[in-house]
Amino acid sequence: MPGSAAKKGYKFQSSTAVATPIGGVKDEVLTQDVESQKIHENAFGPAKQRTGWEIKASALSLNTHNRIRNIVEAMQIKPNPNKAMIPLSIGDPTTFGNLKAADETMKAVLRSLESGKFNGYAHTQGHETSRQAVAKYSAHQRPEGVIDPSDVLLCSGCSSALEYCILALADRGQNVLVPRPGFCLYHTLAEGLDIEVRYYELLPEQKWRADLVQLESLIDKNTAALLINNPSNPCGSVYDEAHLQQLVAICERHYIPIIADEIYEHFVFPGSRHVAVSSVTREVPVLSCGGLTKRFLVPGWRMGWIIVHDQHQRLGTAVTGLKNMCGRILGSNTIIQGALPDILTKTPQCYFDRVIETLYSNAQLAYKMLKQVRGLNPVMPNGAMYMMIGLSKEHFSAFKDDTHFVQELVNEQSVFCLPGSCFAYPGYLRIVLTVPSAMLEEACVRIAEFCYTHYKKDNRALIEDRLLED
């Protein structure tokens, strides 16, 4: 137990985000000039002029890595030329053309454009009417069912919402707790700024619930936030209210705010229900990140948002910090902002139902097929658009690790999955459930063939080894 190192009360200070308001106070600007002069002198000697081109990338930019890209680029991939490629790796649900944005969603954007009213800058948090629309759409996230538009901040996609939250709460040297397996963007956003990422473990045999004891053991007084991704990418898990209560209780004990990545909040399969973590607590501040991307199938539109849930104003200056962060890019895309009220109210329920049906029937199909394959251990998802598949290491000892398995699977069968390593979780594969079902079925057949070949071969090798020993 962290005990003495733990915080004594909710007293948030925003990270350095507060110190840089747009067109900040004069004194502050002067102080900054002196600071930057000092930095300049340290780096180049006292007030010396440059004598040649000395351009160097910043530490932040060089320490910003996309783990998926790095892992995938390091593989030696030569797809089997006799089999058409099936990418079960692509997280963009619009890639295959079977899942499309609703007409009503697209018409809303046309009307926004044609009105001619949304070509200018908006308030950096977003137009009032657009924020009102998001507040109404998200009202279920509050125990009392009402959200004030001033608690909504529109961002450039859910990724920028997450970036603002992490950067507004954490400074260099502080830490953020993130799930393993988990979406690698959290790591990408934090590491460049020397914000430490500490992984709490999710347990596949317990529907990917968090290991609460291990999670709590990570906390110290420098823990700036707990990040919860529910429903989860890559797990497809959906937490019930009881588990969310357990997570909230830990945060309450240690005075830690929650960043909730709820981009999949409405992507839940029949039999499960999504509960927003903010709806189960009045005590712990929650920054909920969402957006249009997944549910409305428009990742390229870059519209996301943060909803600040903070009944007792415990976030303190961190709210100012968040608002300052929005000023960094002068606000999000206004054409989409103009369309938000109609997108959020006029896209018909039957459209959403059809998308969920497709994902759910694909999940069932893949689960049923892969469950029968020796050496594979798929975990049935309850939401989102992915499935995790465990690899039985001892039966696939021909492969060094999950990345090697994935590489050989592409080279023999032209089926591309993402290795669990991309989500800090080796020994698993992640497949997407957004591909057309015939394609998914074919992919499962090929995966089964691949496993059959290598599982068998392995057994034979074992027997041969024994014969040699005798």
Ligand X SMILES: *Cc1c(COP(=O)(O)O)cnc(C)c1O
Residues at the interface with ligand X (CB under 6 A) = 157-159, 183, 229, 233, 261, 263, 291, 293-294, 299, 304
What is the closest distance, in whole angstroms, from the C-beta atom of residue 191 to ligand X in the complex?
17
In the complex with ligand X, the residue whose CB is nearer, 294 or 446, is 294
Task: With beta carbons less than 8 A apart as the criterion, state whether 431 and 386 touch.
Answer: yes
Nearest distance from C-beta of residue 118 to ligand X, angstroms: 20
Write the Ramachandran bin of 207: left for phi over 0, alpha for psi from -120 to 50, otherwise beta.
left
Nearer CB in complex with ligand X: 268/373: 268
Q: Measured from the CB of residue 262, what is the shortest distance to ligand X in angstroms?
A: 9
Q: Residue 219 forms beta bridges with which residues?
A: none
Please say which residue, 141 or 413, places its beta carbon nearer to ligand X. 141
**Strand (E) or helix (H) holding 74:** helix 67-74
Least distance in angstroms from the C-beta of 300 to ligand X: 8
Give bridge partners of residue 199 from the DSSP assignment: 178
127/430 with CB nearer ligand X? 430
Whole-number minimum distance, CB 157 to ligand X, in Å? 3
CB of 289 to ligand X, least distance (A): 7
Q: What SS3 state is found at 261?
A: strand
Cβ atoms of 285 and 258 within 8 Å: the answer is yes
Query: What is the dihedral angle through the alpha carbons of 136, 285, 211, 228, rounded to the nearest 10 degrees?
Result: 40
Please list the residues that pair with 416 across neighbouring strands: 87
H-helix segments, 115-193:
128-137, 157-169, 185-191
Residue 262 or 408 with smaller CB distance to ligand X: 262
**Residue keyed to tokens 């070509």:** 119
Q: Closest CB to ligand X among 255 and 264?
A: 264
Q: How far is the CB of 127 from ligand X (least distance, A)?
A: 19
3-class DSSP assignment, residue 209 = strand
Q: How far is the CB of 159 from ligand X (least distance, A)?
A: 3
The position carrying tokens 């100012």 is 320
List, in sequence order, every residue forming a beta bridge with 27; answer none if it has no partner.
Answer: none
CB of 330 to ligand X, least distance (A): 18
- Residue 383 contacts residue 231 (beta carbons within 8 Å): yes
Task: Evaluate the CA torsion angle 437, 439, 445, 449 in order and state its sign.
Answer: negative
User: Measured from the CB atom, is 267 or 450 closer to ligand X?
Assistant: 267
- Count CB neighbours of 6 within 10 A: 16
Q: Return the number of the residue (173 or 300) whose C-beta is nearest ligand X.
A: 300
Residue among 226, 251, 92 nearest 157 (CA) = 92
Residue 68 or 406: the one with the smaller Cβ distance to ligand X is 68
Q: Report in angstroms how near the CB of residue 321 gets to ligand X at its nearest.
A: 20
Cα distance from N-terminal residue to C-terminal residue, the chain: 53
- Beta carbon nearer to ligand X, 159 or 174: 159
HSE toward the beta carbon, residue 334, CA cutoff 13 A:
18
Regarding beta strands 386-391 and 152-155, do their DSSP bridges make them parallel or antiparallel, or are they unpaired?
A: unpaired
Looking up tokens 């705010």 gives 257
Is residue 431 within 8 A of residue 366, CB to CB? The reply is yes
Tell me which residue has its CB nearest to ligand X.
157
